[in-house]
Amino acid sequence: MRKTMWKKSRRNVNCGKLFGLYNRTIDGYNNIDYNNLIKMIKEDKDVILLDVRSIQEYKEEHLNGAILIPLYELEKTVTNIIPDKKKKIIVYCKSGIRSMKAIEVLLKKGYVNLYNLYGGLDNY
Q: Which residue numbers are catalytic? A: 93
Contact 120, 93 (CB under 8 A): yes
Order the strands of the 12-14 sheet from edge to edge. Answer: 12-14, 22-25, 30-32, 114-117, 89-92, 48-51, 67-68
Longest dimension (CA), the chain: 39
